[in-house]
Amino acid sequence: MEIRRISRRRFMKEAVVAGTLVPLINSAAANQNQDKKLFQICIFSKHLQWLDYNGMAQTTAELGFDGVDLTVRRGGHVLPERVEDDLPKAVEAVKSAGIKPLMMATDINDPDDPNTEKILRTAGSLGIRCYRLGKYRYNDNKSIISTLNEAKPKIRDLAAMNKHYNIHGDYQNHAGSGYVGAPVWDLWELIKDLDPKYIGCQFDIRHATVEGGQAWPLHFKVISKWIKSLAIKDFFWEKQNNRWQAVNCPLGEGAVDFAHYLRLLKTSSIAGPISVHYEYDLGGANHGATKLTIEKEKVLTAIQRDLEFLKTRLRENDLY
């Protein structure tokens, strides 16, 4: 029976609360046993949208990534309305290149959206075990508490859908005053009563540092039980037009304290896929462009440089 035929009330009766569900054997645990790695590294395919499925997959493999964080959203490699036709093609290309479809980035934030079930059902059947949710936003016309109260039942029902389709959903802590999850404590309020096997956080250390300053380790600790994937990027502060701005940069050249962060990861029980993001200027690849304005060799060199930085730091801490 398809999940859209099941009432919201039935979902609410399912105890999608911490510790009450049958454990989900997710790809992170399976891959850890197979490859003996706590983490597997994938590229956010947003940065390779100037390539088709085969080109994206082959390039990812040649660069040395373990897999792909595939964009399955508006303007992505796979469009939501075409997921049943195109996601299998993208996954086949990835597997044929000898790497894995480790995760996907989506716009999913409403269990009743007609594309939500199609995406989760298709991804689950193809062996994708982790996805990133879409965002909830604050605005001046609604109170913070009202926004969270509206989001909470949606997150709860998405957790139930994830259980049904054997997939895990992560919400990214994205920086910005308009984003739910930027302070991290509000995200904790949304998921604290839900089972981390099915819903959680994609912890983004760049965004956590922007919003948390020196307090980001506290934010990491409060949400750590629910962290099942990571997003990696870096930034520095620069004064522009008399205002301090967060400017994206290559890994290791900015304000992110990788030494402290990796020490925390090492002492935690976190394992799973890492998505590397390239948000600094890369001739449009940073914005998901389908055409580059610089030579592709420069883009690939930058991508590989950050990948090697991350691999080296992970290995130094026995995390890879």
One-letter amino acid identity for 291? Answer: K
In the chain, beta strands by DSSP E: 39-44, 67-72, 100-106, 130-132, 168-172, 199-204, 227-232, 234-240, 243-249, 272-276
Kindly report whether the global pTM for this prediction surpasses the value 0.85. Answer: yes
Which among 77, 73, 225 is positioned nearest to 134, based on CA atoms?
73
Does residue 3 carry a pLDDT above 80?
Answer: no
* Whole-number Å distance between alpha carbons of 17 and 20: 6
Query: Are the C-beta atoms of 219 and 208 separated by less than 8 Å?
Result: yes
What Å distances lie between residue 267 and 4, 33, 78, 188, 261, CA to CA? Answer: 41, 19, 37, 21, 10
The confidence score (pLDDT) of residue 38 equals 85
What letter does residue 22 receive in the DSSP assignment?
P
Which among 113, 111, 160, 110 is positioned nearest to 135, based on CA atoms?
110
One-letter amino acid identity for 148? Answer: L
Please, is 201 exposed, middle or buried when counting C-beta atoms within 10 Å of its C-beta (0-12, 13-18, 19+)? Answer: buried
Which stretch of 29-38, 175-184, 223-232, 236-245 has the lowest confidence by average pLDDT? 29-38
Tokens of 234: 């870096």
| pLDDT band of 35, cuts 50, 70, 90 | low
| pLDDT band of 4, cuts 50, 70, 90 | very low
Does residue 123 carry a pLDDT above 80?
Answer: yes
Q: Taking residues 220-231, what's their average pLDDT?
A: 97
* Whole-number Å distance between alpha carbons of 296 and 284: 11
Q: Taking residues 311-317, what's their average pLDDT?
A: 96
| pLDDT band of 243, cuts 50, 70, 90 | very high
Segment of 14-18, 239-243, 278-282 carrying the highest mean pLDDT: 278-282
Does residue 190 carry a pLDDT above 60?
Answer: yes
Does residue 19 carry a pLDDT above 50?
Answer: no
Q: What percent of the chain has pLDDT over 90?
A: 88
The confidence score (pLDDT) of residue 13 equals 39
Q: Taking residues 267-283, what's their average pLDDT?
A: 95
**Interval 89-121: pLDDT, tens:** 999 999 999 999 999 999 999 999 999 999 999
Q: Taking residues 242-248, what's their average pLDDT?
A: 95
Please measure the distance between the N-terminal and C-terminal CA atoms of the chain and give it in whole angstroms. Answer: 40
The confidence score (pLDDT) of residue 37 equals 75
* Whole-number Å distance between alpha carbons of 92 and 216: 39
- 302 compared with 35, residue with greater pLDDT: 302
Tokens of 214: 């020196």
The confidence score (pLDDT) of residue 36 equals 60
Q: Which residue has the tokens 């086949």?
A: 92
| pLDDT band of 17, cuts 50, 70, 90 | very low
- What mean pLDDT is reported for the chain? 90
Does residue 47 carry a pLDDT above 80?
Answer: yes
The confidence score (pLDDT) of residue 269 equals 86
Does residue 237 carry a pLDDT above 90?
Answer: yes
**Interval 205-214: pLDDT, tens:** 999 999 999 9
